[in-house]
Amino acid sequence: MATIYEVSKLAGVSLATVSRVMNNNARVSDNTKKKVLAAMQTLGYRPNAIAQSLASNCSNSVGILVSELSGAFYGQMMSGIETELRAAGKHVIITTGHSEEEKEKDGLEFLIGRNCDAIIAHVEAVSDEYIVELSKGKTPIYLMSRHVEALSEKCISLDNEHGGYLATKSLIEHGHSKIAYIAGPQFKADASNRLQGHKRALSEHNIAFDETLFFIGDFKETGGSEGLHHLLKQGYDFTALVCANDEMASGAMKYAREHNVKLPSQLSIIGFDNVIFANYLYPTLTTVDNPVNEMGRMAAKMVLKEIYHQKNIEINRIFEPTVILRNSIKSIKTT
């Protein structure tokens, strides 16, 4: 690996001059510039980003922390962030938190230690206080899908409560009143907010929340199948099911088919997130759109504007969920 020193020697100039042509921020005569460029070429010189970062205290890279690297939801989010940043010549350093407090902290600190110019995090296990404390450091932290009051201008979130409300309301408007619910892990704010919305829709239509029609899953396919298994085993009847995300909905749909529950004639299902494959399930899944990809792009735009000082960027911090009607809900006659 050639260093800037070797380049300077070959070009017959000083270190400083080489550095100048690299960052072309200062005047360098065309002649010497040419010599330096040539030297770089023949040596196959590549700047050492680490050294640049240490000296300039700027890494031109932003850290991303997500819970998992797999899963359509996180994929869309990362993809949105990266697309926008990459277009601006910035790089992304991704790591994971696995929804565990220690790992999230570890990941966050790793990112800070790597001198990221900013961090975009989707954290679920660490406390608000911890985040606020960390935000006092030199690395700005932006939060995805989470609202922390003290950091509200750095938070991008979906109105999950409203989404949960819409999902259940949609079922009610199709004539359903016996509605089961498979929730996500309640320590996740997304999950608990969606559930709150569900309860609001219920009470607004004078339907009592029924504990026996309720199950807490893991936000994965298995959570959906286990949930439906549990609900069916109870023997209580219900005509509709809300799943707090699409993965669980797909698991429930599969379980239903395997146990001869006709979809949607015997059971209507609505999911949440509108991940890509929701549209490829059978029946195609009616769900609540969660524009994660756009939210990711927006997070990226925020750091582009606030950290890298790009102009003419419109910011929007709250995203609204919308119901995507497909074929997994059947209308039933109201008596």
Determine which residue in the list 279, 310, 316, 331 makes contact with a copy of itself, applying CB under 8 A.
279
At its nearest, how many Å lie between DNA and the CB of residue 119?
A: 18
Length, in residues, of the chain? 335
Of 264, 265, 271, nearest in space to 242 by CA: 271
Q: Decide if residue 32 touches DNA (CB under 7 A).
A: yes
CA distance linking residue 330 with residue 57, whole number of Å: 58
At its nearest, how many Å lie between DNA and the CB of residue 57?
A: 7
Percentages helix, strand, coil for the chain (3-state, rounded to 5) are 50, 15, 35
**Residue tagged 């939210």 (tokens):** 295
Determine which residue in the list 280, 310, 313, 315 makes contact with a copy of itself, applying CB under 8 A.
280
CA distance linking residue 201 with residue 168, whole number of Å: 6
Residue 52 class from Cβ within 10 Å (0-12 exposed, 13-18 middle, 19+ buried)? middle
At its nearest, how many Å lie between a copy of itself and the CB of residue 78?
A: 4
CA distance linking residue 178 with residue 213, whole number of Å: 9
Q: Which is nearer to DNA, 114 or 254 (CB)?
A: 114
Are the C-beta atoms of 248 and 228 separated by less than 8 Å?
A: no
Q: Decide if residue 95 touches a copy of itself (CB under 8 A).
A: yes
Q: Decide if residue 313 touches DNA (CB under 7 A).
A: no
At its nearest, how many Å lie between DNA and the CB of residue 135?
A: 19
Of 253, 250, 277, nearest in space to 266 by CA: 253
Q: Decide if residue 1 touches DNA (CB under 7 A).
A: yes
Q: Which is nearer to a copy of itself, 192 or 293 (CB)?
A: 293
Determine which residue in the list 45, 74, 238, 319 makes contact with a copy of itself, applying CB under 8 A.
74
CA distance linking residue 259 with residue 2, whole number of Å: 66
CA distance linking residue 227 with residue 181, whole number of Å: 9
At its nearest, how many Å lie between DNA and the CB of residue 45?
A: 7
Please report, as residue ranges, which positions from 128 to 167 form the binding site for a copy of itself (by CB under 8 A). 137-138
Are the C-beta atoms of 8 and 15 separated by less than 8 Å?
A: yes
Q: Decide if residue 334 touches DNA (CB under 7 A).
A: no
Please report, as residue ranges, which positions from 3 to 22 form the binding site for DNA (by CB under 7 A). 3-5, 12-20, 22
**H-type alpha helices, the chain:** 4-11, 15-22, 30-43, 49-56, 72-87, 101-113, 128-135, 160-173, 189-204, 221-234, 246-258, 292-306
Stretch that binds a copy of itself, among 7-15, 30-38, 68-76, 211-219 (CB under 8 A): 68-76
Q: Which is nearer to DNA, 58 or 69 (CB)?
A: 58
Q: Decide if residue 137 touches DNA (CB under 7 A).
A: no
Q: How many residues in the shown chain lie near a copy of itself by CB under 8 A?
A: 51
Q: Which is nearer to DNA, 46 or 259 (CB)?
A: 46
Residue 74 class from Cβ within 10 Å (0-12 exposed, 13-18 middle, 19+ buried)? buried
Judged by the rule CB under 8 A, the positions of this chain that interact with a copy of itself are 1, 46-51, 53-54, 59, 61, 68-72, 74-76, 78-79, 82, 86, 91-96, 103, 109-110, 112-115, 137-138, 221, 250-251, 253-254, 257, 276-277, 279-282, 284
Judged by the rule CB under 7 A, the positions of this chain that interact with DNA are 1, 3-5, 12-20, 22-23, 25-29, 31-33, 45-48, 51-52, 54-57
